[in-house]
Amino acid sequence: MRKALPTLLVALALVAAALVAVGGSLSGAPRWTPDGLFYHARSLELDGVDRETALERAFQGPMGAELRARDPERSGDPDWVSYNAQFYERRVTVPLAALAIEPLAGERAILDISLAGYIAAVLAIFALLLTRFRLAIAAAVTLATIFLPALVSHSSYPLTDSWGLALETAALASGILVLQRGPRWLLAWGAALLVLAFTRDSSWIPIAASGWLILSLRSRVTWAMLGIGIAAAIPVLLAFSVPTRELLAMMLNGLQPAPDASWGFVAEHYPGALVDFVRADGGFVRDGAWYSAAYLVVGLALLFLLVRGRDRTAPITFLQGAALAAVAYVLVLPVFSAFRLELVCVPMAAFGLGLGAERLAAALEPHLARVRIRLDPRARHAGVA
């Protein structure tokens, strides 16, 4: 209990800091985006409203008025709205949770669930870091994550990204605990992936990481991780259609339904879209998004550069595989999102920053020890003895 108390107190302090970071969104009306309105419509649909009526209430009603005026060609177009609704059908977790609290939260329901996901993501990052690092390092990196502008910004909208990050991180932490402590953590691994599959489209990142791990560590537990991960992803595929080709074609067609939503269309337009994506992200960084960019780029680089030989343990290899899968996830849809899609890289970047902090602390330890000896007479006496 005494050992757990400092960790609990630090966790509570981190939650308090997180509430400060999103304090401006804890009250007032939500700021609606097309995605947010789709999730609101999905919540209405889960409550028994037919799809077309739910979409009409969300987009053509008072909630969508400002967005219709600002974005008449998409949010104000019933045909565009109806076509895009298929891409949100399988994301039921957040709309279901919003439906449960709607009697109390009203139109803020999706937003309040998103903010709760932000708190959950912060705690999940903290738990992930504690699988390797001491409390001070885990707390410092988590604090840096709390004020990550991309995370704070997108969590402050009625979206599903914060819960996607929280569940992805929970799955990665569970996977590490499977490797460290044994198969009893496989249930947590599978549960996190199952819920993630009904929340965002990123569940394959931890699953791909377990497959990457098998390339260097073939054991019963790693095969079990991969098998359970695949099994956790199957129900959403059976329950809902996954119109991947149509989604890619639309994203590559200026967010408008492509007349020819074929793989040939995707292949033809992808290279130009990738160039535009890189330019847009570069301009976003130049306009002030340097902190989010530095966090992600430096963290992911350290995850690979600071690991040599014996340091490449199974958990490290697992997270490196997740990092490669996350980068691939971002590049599959080369569309500027103000680092929203890039949030899937946060857990691995946080771990890389933890490795950097750990290396820095080890380098500074001799100097700090000499300072302690000079300042503490008892330590000086012990050093002489």
Tell me the C-alpha distance between 220 and 382, whole Å.
Answer: 50
Q: Where are the beta strands (DSSP E) in the chain?
A: none
pLDDT at 127 exceeding the cut of 70:
yes
Quick one: average pLDDT of 53-77?
93
Q: What is the pLDDT of residue 384?
A: 39
pLDDT at 296 (0 to 100): 97
Phi, psi of 259 (to 5 degrees): -60, -35
* Spatial contact of 340 and 165, defined as CB atoms under 8 Å apart: no
pLDDT tens digits, one per residue of 155-171? 999 999 999 999 999 99
Predicted confidence band at 370 (pLDDT cuts at 50, 70, 90)? low
Q: Quick one: pLDDT at residue 26?
A: 94
Residue 312 confidence (pLDDT):
78
pLDDT of residue 259: 86
* 327-341 confidence digits (pLDDT tens): 999 999 899 999 999
Give the mean pLDDT of the chain.
92
Residue 337, class by beta-carbon neighbours within 10 Å (0-12 exposed, 13-18 middle, 19+ buried)?
middle
Q: What was the pLDDT predicted at 243? A: 87
Q: If we measure between CA atoms, which residue out of 35, 49, 43, 32 comes closest to residue 84? A: 35
Q: Kindly give, in sequence order, each residue whose CB lies less than 8 Å from that of residue 348, ignoring residues fewer than 6 positions away.
A: 172, 299, 300, 303, 319, 320, 322, 323, 326
The average pLDDT across 22-43 equals 95
The confidence score (pLDDT) of residue 307 equals: 85
pLDDT band at 385 (very low <50, low <70, confident <90, very high): very low
Q: Is the pLDDT of residue 377 over 80?
A: no
Check whether 180 has a pLDDT greater than 70.
yes
User: How far from 5 is each of 8, 9, 292, CA to CA, in Å?
Assistant: 5, 6, 32
Confidence at residue 190, expressed as pLDDT on a 0 to 100 scale: 97
**Which residue, 59, 352, 49, 321, is CA-closest to 211?**
321
Q: What's at 331, amino acid-wise? A: L
**What confidence tens digit (pLDDT) does each residue in 251-281 have?**
999 889 988 889 999 999 999 999 999 999 9
| Among 17-26, 107-116, 242-251, the least confident range | 242-251
**pLDDT number for residue 138:** 97
pLDDT higher than threshold 50 for residue 364 = yes
Query: 332, exposed or middle or buried, with CB in 10 Å at 0-12, 13-18, 19+?
Result: middle
Helical H runs in 182-240? 186-197, 204-214, 220-239
In percent, how much of the chain has pLDDT > 90? Answer: 83
pLDDT at res. 201: 92
For residue 75, what pLDDT is reported? 92
